[in-house]
Structure formats: structure tokens, C-alpha cells
Structure 1
Amino acid sequence: MSSSPSSWLSPVLVFGPLFLAVLAHSGQIKYLGWLPVDATFLATGVVFLCVLAALIDRPWLDNRLWWVLSLWILFLFPVAGMADNSYGLQKVFTLFTITLACVVGPFFLLRTARQQKVFFETLIALAVIFTAMSWQAGILRSDYGVGGELEAGTDVMNPLSFARVVAPGLVVMTAYGFTRGRSVPVRFAWLGLAAVMLVLLFATGRRGPIVSIIASVVVMVALAPAFKKRRGRTISLAVVSALVAGWFVIRNDNAGAQRILGFFAGESDASTSAREYIWAEAFDVIGASPWGVGWGNFPTVTDMESLTAAGGRMYPHNIFLEGLTEGGWLVGAALSVFLAVGCYRAVTGATDTLGVAILGLVVSGMVNAFVSGDLNDQKVLWIALAMAFITRPEAGRHALDAPPDLATSRPTRSRRLTRTP
């Protein structure tokens, strides 16, 4: 049997990656509110159906998927002590449905170069679309208000949601612009578009996404094997791009940009102080509860329970501390190993454009995960880490396009379920 997918599976090669990209941003996207069903559950359902279709057509599992499944099995232990409130229930349900779909889906829907391109280009399209929508809504033209919030906000998207949607697309554009395989004008067009969107992103005053983008660019140009023979030129190009974007940011001189520039200058505000307090509380919990306090119970064992009682969410704002406080030392250690291995594979797999884009998304997602959001807010990071596990640097981007024994380079271990294609 040929290694190419069945003809009936062709739509899955497009809709699977597309809806996986939508799912990655489903928590930030508000414009699908007119649908009779929640956009997040719609995207999750489509992803699960596409995974099922791919599994039916080619029933074999790559052995690296068990890294993910083993971690999620460990995630079951803190469920016994989960918080008995709406946040605890929502967190556990989301962790074992939507977030699990984000980390399992790529093993079936992003294992070929074509699928990865659809996914990346959907991220870019979402970034461009919502930049235009947010500009039209006035979000990017408003002054940064008191208390760290933009005074402008619409049902379409708020500034933080805009920043979280744009950042991954901007990282992919940068990877496209830095790597070869396209003409020079096209590469400069990608970098120009990325620079324009970066300038607009500064207007939101959101420091996390900005820092994550800068960190991803630095790691990409400094560590990616794709730039090994021309790293000096790539670094020069990155510096020039940064200087151009920085010049426009300084000229723009809005309150959001000033807040971010103040952060780089070492200034502190209420948001920074709040995180420092939360992290200090998390370290106290880690020392006192080696088995963890259960998913969603972080505010219960600290002085912040009133926030969840009022319908809010409170968590350590750091994925590593979250795993240690609520999951315990064992879960925290396993999560740390998973993240470390994923980062290593992302670096060693960054041998071409797609690999560099994966590395950028992993770094960007890691930076965000260490300063903002909980486990379920890191959908882009989970997807990027899964893609890093999929790739095999010695085999190139197409290693999983066929079962391992049909690949053109060193075979990997795999688990066959029924038949040999």
C-alpha cells in the first residue's frame, strides 16, 4: 500500500491543521459568538473528528505520543484533591478535553510538511485579520488607561486577547523572513509585515507577548541549526529589523508603548508586584505540600480565595510553579522534564523554515507560560511542543508522512495497532 493518505482523507489534511490553529486561539476569539455552539467546543470537536479519521486511515501511533499520554496520566493524581468550585471543575474538564486535544492532535494532524504549512499560515491569517479588526474597533488607537487596562475594548476582542493572537503569527512571519527557500523580496515582505504588527502590538501595553516575541527571535537566530553557515548575516538582519521597529515604536509614543519601554528600563508597577507576591506564596505552598494541593486549589491555600468565589480565576501565573503547587513535586518534575525535552528537540529540529517556526513558537510559548496564564491557557505552547516531539532532525520534516519503516532515514520505534500500510 502506498504511504500517501486515502483520497477521502484529503480534507483532513486541510481542515485538521486549520481548526487546530483556531483551537489554539479559541479562548481569545470572540467574533464567533453568533454561532449556536461555543467556538472552542466546535474547534475541539472538529479536531477530535479529524484525529479519528486520520487514525482510521492509518492506524499506528508514534512512540513519542506516549510522552504526552504519560504526563496526562500523572495529571490525573491531583484530580482527587481538586477545588470544589466552578474554577476547579472547569480547569480539570478543560485540561482533559481541550488542552489534551491541543497536545495529541499534532501527532495526527501536523505530521507532514503540508499540514504544518496550513497550520502556520492559519496562524498568520488570524493575526492579520484580528489586527485589522482591532484597529477598526479602536483598540490600538486608545491610550493606556489606569490600572493597567486599555480604556477601549469591544465584544470583538480586548487588548490582551489581541496580543495573544498576534504574537504566534508574528513569530511565524519572522521565521519565514529569516530562512531561505523564498525570494529576497518575499522574505523582506514577511519581515516588513512582522515589523508593522510589532509596532501595533506595542500599543496594547502588554509586556508578556512582546518579551516572548523578542526571546523567540533571539533564540531562533542564535541557536537554530538552519542558520549555522550564515548566523552572522541572520543576526545582522534581525538587528536591523529590530532597530527599524524600535524607531517607529519610539516615534509612536503612546501610553502602551511607554509602559513596555518602562519595563525594559527596569520600572515596576502593580502588575509586577502582584506577580512577585503570587510567586512568593507559591514557593511557600511548594515547601509545605510535596503532594500538591489539587487542581484549582492554589487560591484556597493562600489568601486569594475570594477571587475564585467571585467567579474569577487565580493561579501562580507560572506553569512550572503551577505544576509544583497544585500537582505536587512528582507532577512538577515530570512537567519540567517534558518541557525541557520539548525545548531540546525544538532546537535540534530547527533545520529548515518549518523547524525554525516550531522553535520560535516553543520559545514564545514558554516565556508566556512562565509569566501569565494557567496550564489551559498555553494552547499554542502545547501544540508547538507536540510538533517538536514529532520532528526528527536527521530525517527532515517528512519523517512522519509515512510509517517509520517506510521513511527514508533511520527508523524510529513505533507501535502498530492493526495492519502495516
Structure 2
Amino acid sequence: MTVMQDNRRSPAIGTVRGAAGPAGPETPARPTGGLVSAVLRATAVVLLLNFDQFTRTVGRGFLIAAVVLAVPLLFHEILRPASRARTVVFWVLVAFGVLALPGILHPPETDYGRQKFVLLLTLTMFATLAAAVLRGRRDVEMFAAVFVVSGVVLAIATLTGDPQNGRADGFGSNPIWLARALGGALVALTWLYLQKRVAAWWAMGLALFLGLALFATGSRGPLVATVVALFVLVLAGFRLKIRRGRREWVGLSLMSALVLAVITMPSLLPPRVYALLVDPSEEMFGTARAEMREVSVPMIAEHPGGVGYGNWSDHSGMLVHNYPHNLWLELPAEAGWLVGGAFILATLIVAGRLWRATRRDPVAGFVLAVLAFNVVAVSTSGDVNAGRPLFVALALGVLVMTGATLRTGVPARAEVPARNAGRRPVGRRGVAG
């Protein structure tokens, strides 16, 4: 499996000369960020996202390991002179400061509300801050590769374990959270294939494996999110100024064939997914989530300042559920119009800037696809802390917007010969012959 084969020339290749002799062989300089560093940085972020997909004991160990890795790396990046991490950290702190404001002005009144508020300002915020340890394109590629490895491990547990109530749960995780991890891994694998970091046969085999595991969970929201993200990823690939269209066309053809097969043979799907395709109106308007939408909209209209973190259940009358399973309804309802509206606006701005950046930066397409995946995923399940991957995707979007993932130096060096064509070299002494 060829995952991280980088054939780019190093910008620091020079010539070693003796004291009075001819030029020696070119010796490539050691890259500033080594493979081990990239693996550690990517692993820290992935563990903070997926630690709760494993058993409780293993998950806690992964969380501790992620914190031990991320804390020194984060401080190192903040103190490094040429780092862009400070920009990411600044905007993350601003975002969570705005999200924390309703809970500070009106402290949560319920146990669930207090737990939600504490987790928002600890685990969720720290996982988002940890995205700043990814310094550039190489680290983001490694992040995608580690996420795929994590997804493959979860897929093995999903397909070999005993399903509960007809839905696979991997190591005992919630099938919805498990499906999000598997769908995210499928998106990351597709991007690595489009970037020519994974061979075609490996990509097809792993994609089939992850897809089967995703179907086995029976989770419809993450499945729809995966399809949307893959189309966004392929469309972003078409926008690149550097034409590498063959793989994008292959990806688009495979996805179109998959959609056609699902439409023509829906009976092959798990029962929950089959019900969604056969009668989507029933799933959209005849379920508990539809009732949650119906009670959330009037609540938002009647409480411009929000009802407070954790109070949605009391005001909705649906005491069985603590939250509306839709982040875009939860934040305006509990945190108020200004906070919910500001978060929605920030998401749209980051998505728009990423779409513009896809013309010159392939990493922008990947981050945009991850953002699209999570935007759809948080619309169907989970509360604000279950949207941890969405916050990380937004932080990665800020990193891309700083230009950290662009290839620096190569265009400038390529233009120098053209600008200096026909000019006589200046400042060099001739050699007597």
C-alpha cells in the first residue's frame, strides 16, 4: 500500500563545494518536519476525534495519550516564530468564547446542561485547538492517512462483531458515532487516492471494506453525509488549476455507478437504509426528529436569547430527549439568535473561502469535503459536543485560509529564469580560463 509517497523536490537542495575544488554531488537537506513528527501530530488529532469509538478502558488510554502528545506540540507551535498556529488558536478561542457566553451569563440549571457546558469548554475546545498542531500539507495528508487506518480498525470490529438490534456497533460504540468515523475515513481515503498517495487497487479494496462496514451500522445520516462529501471532493478536484482530471473522472464514475446500483436494487441495503430510499417522506416527516423540528422552531422564535444550555428538553416537552438531534436547531434554541447565527455565519464563510481556495490548493478540497460531511452529520444526530469533528473541520479550514497548506517557493523559483532571461548575471566573479 503506497500511502504517503511524496515525489516533490525538496526546496533545500544545494551543492556542496570544497575549499578549492569543483562542485561535489548534490546533497538534499534534511526536511524540517520529519515523518515521525507528522505521524505524532496526526495521531494526536485522530485520537481526540475517535477515542470514544473504542472500549471504555482503551478509549481512556487513547484520550490520555492524545493529550500527552497534543499539549507539548501545541505549545511548540504557538511559540515557533514562523508558525500559523497562533492564527488558528486565536479564532478557536474567539469561537468558543462566543459559545460560552450564554452559559456564563445564565449558568446551566440541569445536570445534563452543566455536563454539556463543561465538556464544551474542555474536551471539545481542546480537540479543536489540537488541529493547530498540523502545520501544513504534509501533516494534513498524514492526518488523512491515520484517519483511514483508524477507520479500517473500526471496520474490522464492525464486520466481525455481533450486531445489536440489527445494527453493528464495533467495539460497543453508538452506531451513529461509529458510522461517522467510517464515513470520514472513506472521504479521507478517496482524497488520498485523488492525490495519488494510494494505489488504485488498494483504494478500491479499502473503500469497499469501509463501505460495507458503514452500511452495517444502519446509520442513515452519516451515509447521506458521506455521499454529499464525496461529491464535494470530486467537484473540488475538478476546480484545480493543475489538471489531474483522470482520477476525478474515475471517482465520479464509480460514485455514479454506486448510486445507480442502490436505486435499482434497494433491497440489498440494510432495512433502515432501505426504508429511507423507498419512502423518504416517512423518514423526514413521520419520525421523532420531525417532531423535534416542529417544537424547536417556535422555541427559537419565542426566545431570542435562548432557553439556556441543557434546557431544550424542558421547554419542548419531549423529556425523553435532551437535545433536538440537530445542531443547527440546538444552538439557536439554547444559546440564542446571536450565538447560533454567528456560528452558522462562520461556517458559511469558512466553506465559501475553502471553495475559492480549491482552485489552487488540493487540501482545501479535502477540508471542504470534511466540513460538508460534518455539516450534514450534525443535522441528524448528536448535541453540540457530538459535533466535535465539525469544530475540528472549521479549525482546519482556518489553517487552509492562512495559506499554510500551499506549496511555497516552487512558483517563485520557476518564474526566476523567465524574468532573468537575457540578463547578464550580476554579482558573480568570472573564472579565469
What is the TM-score when the length of structure 1 is the normalising length?
0.78
Of 347, 350, 362, the residue aligned with 1:342 is 350
- Counterpart of 1:53 in structure 2 is 76
| Aligned-pair CA distance for 1:204 | 2.1
| 3-state SS of 2:287 partner | helix
Decide whether the 8 Å contact of 1:24 with 1:380 is kept in 2.
yes
Decide whether the 8 Å contact of 2:306 with 2:336 is kept in 1.
yes
Decide whether the 8 Å contact of 1:176 with 1:187 is kept in 2.
no
The yes-or-no answer on 1:206 pairing with 2:219 is yes
Residues 47, 393 of structure 1: CA spacing in aligned structure 2 closer, same or farther, 3 A cutoff?
Answer: closer
- Counterpart of 1:361 in structure 2 is 370
Residues 398, 207 of structure 1: CA spacing in aligned structure 2 closer, same or farther, 3 A cutoff?
Answer: same
Q: Distance in 2 between matches of 1:77 and 1:25?
A: 28
Decide whether the 8 Å contact of 1:82 with 1:293 is kept in 2.
no
Decide whether the 8 Å contact of 1:5 with 1:57 is kept in 2.
no
Q: Distance in 2 between matches of 1:85 and 1:391?
A: 39
Aligned residues with identical type, % of pairs: 22
- Counterpart of 1:371 in structure 2 is 380
Of 9, 28, 41, the residue aligned with 1:16 is 41
| 3-state SS of 2:192 partner | helix
The yes-or-no answer on 1:297 pairing with 2:311 is yes
| Aligned-pair CA distance for 1:10 | 8.3
| 3-state SS of 1:194 partner | helix
The yes-or-no answer on 1:265 pairing with 2:278 is yes
- Counterpart of 2:137 in structure 1 is 113
User: What does the per-residue CA deviation read over 1:112-165, in whole Å, with 9 as the maximum and x for residues that have no partner?
Assistant: 2222122111110011011112222133xx8xx4xxx63x65754453343122
| Mapping for residues 41-120 of structure 1, pairs under 5 Å | 42-58=65-81, 62-63=86-87, 65-79=89-103, 80-107=105-132, 109-120=133-144
User: What does the per-residue CA deviation read over 1:302-325, in whole Å, with 9 as the maximum and x for residues that have no partner?
Assistant: 2123x3xxxxx6212222211111
**RCO higher in structure (CA 8 A, sep ≥6):** 1
User: What does the per-residue CA deviation read over 1:59-89, in whole Å, with 9 as the maximum and x for residues that have no partner?
Assistant: 8654454333222111122113243232112
Q: Distance in 2 between matches of 1:195 and 1:245?
A: 14
| Aligned-pair CA distance for 1:192 | 3.9
- Counterpart of 2:231 in structure 1 is 218
Mark the runs of 5 or more structure 1 residues left unpaired by the alignment.
308-312, 402-406, 409-421
- Which stretch of the first structure deviates more once superposed, 377-386 or 5-14? 5-14
What is the TM-score when the length of structure 2 is the normalising length?
0.76
Number of residue pairs the alignment of both structures matches: 381
Residues 22, 328 of structure 1: CA spacing in aligned structure 2 closer, same or farther, 3 A cutoff?
Answer: same
The yes-or-no answer on 1:138 pairing with 2:138 is no
- Counterpart of 2:427 in structure 1 is none
Decide whether the 8 Å contact of 2:363 with 2:400 is kept in 1.
no
Of 367, 389, 413, the residue aligned with 1:380 is 389
Bigger radius of gyration among the two: 2
Q: Distance in 1 between matches of 2:40 and 2:286?
A: 40
RMSD (Å) for aligned C-alpha atoms: 3.6
- Counterpart of 1:171 in structure 2 is 187
Q: Distance in 2 between matches of 1:278 and 1:366?
A: 18
| Aligned-pair CA distance for 1:392 | 4.0
